[in-house]
């Protein structure tokens, strides 16, 4: 069969292929790849559409400081399902409605570095696109802004060729809501994911306790209503932050360099990034100099080389400046160099400039740039050894390098081998094209590698990667950062290599983590409120970690646990995953949260875990929330958090913090169960013993309650009435102090009550004491009352198993 090339001819194929090329819009792309956004099946599409609509409603309400009131309804319509989502948000202006719902990648949050549920501007418009693709029907949108007398009504679809809204109907209408937005979508779907739908709505209510949500679907007799938690407030307002130096990539940095108004690198760093002040900018610039200019090798002062004479060399280099001025200048330069442990070429120049300025002031003579350059070179040559040949200089530098090489390598290396490596390194410096001995770390690594290779070849030695890196580190550590002015911003913007060096310098600098005002965590208190609102359990715990940073983006991890009560037992623990207050319904097995939960040894925390790994068993719910300016999801559908080590570590720490409270609760519960079992046995035995003891001794039968309290080390509360005086005795038989809240309800007005609050309500008097009784001590609470008045005592602040009340 002839190929296309043969049928078209070599000259025609390129033209033919060129004619077939055309640009596609983002809407057209997702029209053919809707699975990437979570619309890969009828069941999942319905869940995704609900999720996108509810997320939009929550964000809109919170941005307008409105407590969310959201209504979601799904109804069957012959072969299709109709989805309606209403909210009480601020509404959307007439001009923006078509763009928000009819244009993919249109939104206000993509460039903002602050926590948001959505950012790309794809979600709700993708639902509109799916609706029109499967049903052919337009989306119906009603929106009313606060203060408007009428609402705006649109029917629209998305033109996938242009990614622009195509409006079928545009008119004003009446709507009972004073402000808010309503969207109605008709789509091909099914209810096979009903459980996922219910889970999404319920979990949204848990993680957004400030929202009221009502949900109706065909199989419900009445809508599910999730009321907002009592006294729940809106999440803390977030603030947009600038990018962090550790979070940008090269392409982004180049764009920022081109767009900035700053002239200098220091100004650019301080103006365009967060957490960068003058000191941090200087640190970054020093590291940039190391990469861009290289460091200057610093050699030991000439006194190490006995024949070197800096003063004489400088005097010889300076002419026509007067004998005394020249002598004073040369001596000062020599003394200053001698005072240094090591000195690099640019440091010699700084010494020369400083001493030249001093001599000029003292003698009134001028030391120009040429004289200073000659003096610098003369002193530098002496530093490198005053011999006239390269061999002399090599010998001098070898004696300087040997101690560095010796200290950096293993003690098992032979001295002759170390000497050979030092000599070959010295030769590299002597033969260097840059006699100022400036090297980048990469160049220095090349020096060491070649010297080590030659030493291995000729001296029958071995220098591994670790030894080579240690030598590089030792020499790099004595080299000095040069003071050259860095290039301007515009110069670096035009030089990709220089921009890459700046990026490396930013990443190598220790910079404070980004501020967290851009995040709005749920907080421990509201995590507990959300769990208590939706789960009737015996125990709740919550933990909110301090902020951490990944890739320059701050994030906070929170965890919550509910246990016991009405939670279902006999199966695995229910793991709820959230990101920026959004439930993650799908891809559970591909999520970092699930991986971390499986990796924890839950047996240490009192839960059953067959095999010692995997999701534990028990009547419990474990929730994890990741809040970030940029949550790393595994796909565009945002169903799972990626396995980022920093995030996984914080998830584990948050879960373990909450799980430790669970462990304490379960240990205490087991202890109380054992105590209750012991008391039950005693309650069976003691009465029989009391009967026999009384019959044998002829005495009255002992008080069982008092005996029980003392045997079990309980707190005993005993009420006795003598005449019109009631006395409540609190006897602490335990090994620790007891802080009690003791309330007695009596049917007559009490008199002479000391140290208590008395409140009358509906003909009953509530007397409340708060005694603190030390171990082994007794407290007495007295008052006067009608002896015929009924009495009832309740005690808080101590477990029932550790309390005995006798009235």
- The pLDDT of residue 303 is 52
- The pLDDT of residue 307 is 46
Question: CB 800: neighbour CB atoms within 10 A?
Answer: 11
Residue 615 reports pLDDT greater than 90: yes
Containing H/E element for 665? helix 645-697
- The pLDDT of residue 345 is 97
Residue 706 reports pLDDT greater than 90: no
Instruction: Tell me 468's DSSP state.
Output: H
- Greater model confidence, 23 or 412: 412
d(CA 526, CA 454): 67
pLDDT class for 776, splitting at 50, 70, 90? confident
Per DSSP, the three-state class of 511 is coil
Averaging pLDDT over each range in 17-31, 681-695, 752-766, which range is the top one? 752-766
Instruction: Tell me 251's DSSP state.
Output: H
The proportion of the chain whose per-residue pLDDT surpasses 70, expressed as a percent, equals 90
Residue 296 reports pLDDT greater than 70: yes
Q: What is the pLDDT of residues 347-366, one digit of tens each?
A: 999 999 999 999 999 999 99
- The pLDDT of residue 30 is 52
Instruction: Tell me 298's DSSP state.
Output: P
Q: 184 to each of 31, 135, 154, how far by Cα in Å?
A: 20, 13, 11
Q: DSSP alpha helices (H): ranges in 460-534?
A: 465-478, 489-493, 496-508, 524-534
Domain ranges of the chain: 26-226, 245-293+487-508, 297-386, 387-483, 524-668, 704-806
d(CA 757, CA 169): 69
Burial pattern 228-255, b for ≥16 Cβ within 10 A else e, equals bbeebebbeebeebebbbbbbeeeebbe
Q: Which CATH architecture describes the domain 245-293+487-508?
A: Orthogonal Bundle (1.10)
- The pLDDT of residue 16 is 63
Residues of the binding site for ATP:
56, 87, 108-109, 118-125, 638
pLDDT class for 18, splitting at 50, 70, 90? low
- The pLDDT of residue 326 is 94
List the beta bridge partners of residue 764. Answer: 761
- Give, in degrees to the nearest 5, the angle at Cα 364 between 359 and 368: 70
Q: 74 to each of 183, 195, 677, how far by Cα in Å?
A: 12, 14, 52
- The pLDDT of residue 712 is 76
d(CA 687, CA 233): 56
- The pLDDT of residue 91 is 93
pLDDT class for 9, splitting at 50, 70, 90? low
CATH hierarchy code of domain 704-806: 2.60.40.2960
The size of the chain, in residues, is: 807
d(CA 502, CA 305): 39
The proportion of the chain whose per-residue pLDDT surpasses 90, expressed as a percent, equals 50
Averaging pLDDT over each range in 311-320, 353-362, 512-521, which range is the top one? 353-362
The answer to whether 472 and 444 have CB atoms below 8 angstroms apart is yes
Residue 797 reports pLDDT greater than 80: yes
d(CA 632, CA 346): 46
CATH number, domain 524-668, options 3.30.230.10, 1.10.530.10, 3.30.360.10, 2.60.40.1120: 3.30.230.10
- The pLDDT of residue 306 is 47
Containing H/E element for 743? strand 741-746
| Structure tokens given for 391 | 């061999």
Averaging pLDDT over each range in 306-320, 474-488, 527-541, which range is the top one? 474-488
Range name among 355-364, 419-428, 679-688, 741-750 with the lowest pLDDT average: 679-688
Residues of the binding site:
56, 87, 108-109, 118-125, 638
* CA torsion, ordered 640, 643, 649, 653, to nearest 10 deg: 20
Sheet containing 803-806: order of strands: 778-784, 725-732, 715-722, 803-806
Residue 56 reports pLDDT greater than 90: no
pLDDT class for 611, splitting at 50, 70, 90? confident
Handedness of CA 123, 128, 129, 130 (dihedral sign): positive
Handedness of CA 203, 206, 210, 215 (dihedral sign): positive
Half-sphere exposure of 674 (CA within 13 A, CB side): 6
Q: What is the pLDDT of residues 96-135, one digit of tens each?
A: 999 888 887 644 443 344 455 544 336 688 888 888 888 8
Q: What end-to-end distance do the CA atoms of the chain give, in Å?
A: 105
d(CA 254, CA 240): 22
Q: What is the pTM of this model?
A: 0.66
Average pLDDT estimate for 383-402: 86
Question: CB 653: neighbour CB atoms within 10 A?
Answer: 16
- Tell me the average pLDDT of the chain: 86
Average pLDDT estimate for 684-696: 73
- Greater model confidence, 614 or 551: 614
- Greater model confidence, 706 or 102: 102
Q: What is the pLDDT of residues 132-150, one digit of tens each?
A: 888 889 999 999 998 899 9
- The pLDDT of residue 1 is 47
Per DSSP, the three-state class of 772 is strand
CATH hierarchy code of domain 26-226: 3.30.565.10
Of 430, 396, 418, 416, nearest to 471 (Cα)?
A: 418
């Amino acid at each position: 069969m002839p190929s296309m090339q043969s049928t078209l001819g070599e000259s025609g194929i390129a033209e033919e292929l060129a004619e077939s090329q055309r640009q596609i819009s983002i809407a057209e792309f997702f029209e053919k790849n809707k699975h990437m956004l979570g619309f890969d099946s009828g069941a999942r599409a319905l869940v995704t559409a609900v999720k996108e609509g509810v997320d939009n409603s929550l964000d809109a309400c919170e941005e307008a400081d409105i407590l969310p009131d959201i209504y979601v309804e799904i109804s069957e319509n012959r072969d299709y399902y109709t989805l309606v989502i209403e909210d009480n948000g601020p509404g959307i202006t007439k001009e923006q409605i078509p763009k928000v719902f009819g244009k993919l990648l249109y939104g206000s949050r993509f460039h903002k570095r602050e926590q948001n549920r959505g950012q790309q501007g794809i979600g709700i418009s993708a639902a509109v696109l799916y609706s029109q693709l499967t049903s052919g029907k337009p989306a119906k949108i009603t929106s009313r802004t606060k203060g408007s007398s009428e609402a705006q009504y649109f029917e629209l679809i998305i033109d996938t060729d242009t990614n622009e809204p195509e409006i079928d109907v545009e008119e004003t209408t009446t709507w009972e809501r004073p402000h808010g937005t309503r969207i109605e979508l008709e789509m091909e779907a099914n209810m096979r994911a009903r459980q996922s739908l219910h889970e999404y709505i319920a979990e949204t209510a848990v993680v957004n306790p400030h929202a009221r949500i009502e949900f109706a679907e065909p199989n419900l007799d009445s809508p599910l209503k999730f009321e907002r938690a009592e006294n729940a407030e809106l999440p803390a307002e977030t603030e947009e932050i600038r990018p962090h130096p550790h979070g940008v990539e090269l392409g982004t940095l180049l764009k920022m360099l081109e767009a900035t108004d700053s002239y200098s690198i220091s100004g650019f760093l301080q103006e365009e990034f967060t957490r960068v002040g003058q000191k941090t900018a200087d640190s970054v610039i020093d590291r940039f100099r190391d990469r861009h200019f290289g460091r200057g090798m610093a050699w030991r002062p000439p006194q190490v080389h006995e024949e070197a004479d800096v003063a004489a060399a400088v005097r010889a280099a300076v002419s026509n400046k007067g004998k005394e001025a020249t002598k004073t200048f040369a001596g000062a330069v020599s003394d200053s160099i001698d005072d240094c442990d090591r000195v690099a070429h640019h440091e010699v120049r700084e010494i020369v400039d400083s001493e030249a300025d001093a001599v000029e002031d003292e003698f009134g003579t001028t030391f120009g740039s040429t004289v200073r350059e000659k003096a610098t070179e003369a002193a530098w040559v002496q530093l490198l050894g005053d011999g006239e040949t390269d061999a002399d200089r090599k010998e001098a530098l070898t004696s300087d390098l040997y101690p560095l090489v010796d200290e950096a390598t293993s003690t098992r290396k032979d001295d002759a081998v170390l000497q050979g490596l030092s000599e070959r390194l010295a030769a590299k410096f002597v033969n260097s094209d840059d006699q100022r001995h400036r090297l980048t770390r990469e160049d220095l690594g090349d020096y060491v590698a070649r010297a080590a290779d030659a030493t291995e070849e000729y001296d029958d030695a071995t220098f591994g990667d670790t030894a080579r890196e240690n030598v590089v580190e030792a020499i790099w550590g004595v080299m000095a950062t040069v003071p050259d002015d860095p290039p301007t911003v515009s110069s670096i913007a035009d030089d990709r290599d220089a921009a890459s060096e700046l990026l490396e310098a930013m990443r190598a600098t220790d910079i404070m983590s980004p501020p967290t005002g851009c995040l709005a965590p749920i907080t421990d208190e509201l995590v507990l409120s959300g769990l208590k609102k939706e789960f009737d359990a015996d125990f709740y715990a919550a933990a909110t970690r301090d902020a951490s940073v990944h890739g320059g983006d701050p994030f906070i991890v929170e965890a919550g646990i509910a246990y016991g009560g009405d939670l279902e037992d006999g199966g695995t623990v229910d793991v709820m995953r959230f990101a920026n207050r959004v439930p993650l319904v799908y891809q559970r097995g591909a999520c970092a949260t699930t991986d971390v939960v499986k990796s924890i040894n839950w047996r240490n925390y009192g839960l059953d875990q067959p095999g010692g790994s995997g999701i534990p068993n028990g009547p419990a719910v474990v929730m994890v929330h990741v809040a970030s300016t940029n949550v790393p999801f595994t796909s565009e559908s945002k169903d799972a958090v990626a396995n980022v080590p920093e995030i996984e570590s914080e998830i584990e720490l948050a879960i373990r913090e909450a799980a430790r409270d669970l462990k304490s609760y379960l240990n205490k519960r087991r202890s109380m169960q054992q105590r209750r079992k012991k008391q039950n046995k005693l309650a069976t035995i003691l009465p029989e013993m009391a009967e026999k003891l009384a019959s044998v001794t002829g005495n009255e039968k002992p008080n069982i309650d008092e005996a029980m309290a003392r045997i079990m080390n309980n707190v005993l509360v005993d009420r006795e009435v003598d005449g019109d005086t009631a006395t409540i005795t609190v006897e602490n038989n335990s090994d620790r102090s007891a802080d009690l809240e003791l309330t007695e309800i009596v049917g007559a007005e009490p008199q002479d009550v000391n140290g208590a609050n008395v409140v009358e309500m509906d003909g009953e008097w509530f007397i409340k004491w708060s005694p603190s009784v030390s171990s082994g001590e007794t407290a007495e609470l007295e008052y006067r009352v009608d002896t015929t008045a009924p009495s009832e005592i309740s005690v808080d602040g101590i477990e029932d198993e550790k309390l005995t009340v006798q009235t």
